[in-house]
Amino acid sequence: MRAPLEIPSLTTEELEALEKLYRTTKDPRLRTRAQIILLAGEQQLRVSVIAPIVREATQTVRNWLKRWMAEGIEGLKDRPMPGPPDLSPIW
């Protein structure tokens, strides 16, 4: 069993930024990532409790929590993917 991931309580600035991101983004992945951080930092929920709430694997939740702790709110955004953009039509 893995050790619980310790998430520090959110500062007022972090809480406001995450709430704004959660409420204003149109990207569902980004909203889910903000929700993960809010549940961990504000509610002090464990990864095993957060994962079913957001419908993600526990490892995915752990990865996003670690990335947020390392990079802050900017770390929740998608990183550029290598290679040319996919320009194929969607039908």
pLDDT score for 91: 65
The model carries a pTM of 0.84
Tell me the two tokens of residue 71.
């990079």
Residue 2's pLDDT is 67
The reported pLDDT for the residue numbered 9 is 85
Instruction: Look at residues 68, 62, 31, 70 and name the one whose alpha carbon lies nearest to residue 46.
Output: 62
The closest of 29, 54, 24, 25 to 39, measured between CA atoms, is: 54
Dump pLDDT digits (tens) for 73-85: 999 998 887 877 7
Measured between alpha carbons, how far is 71 from 13 in angstroms, rounded to an integer?
15
- Which regions of the chain are under pLDDT 70? 1-3, 86-91
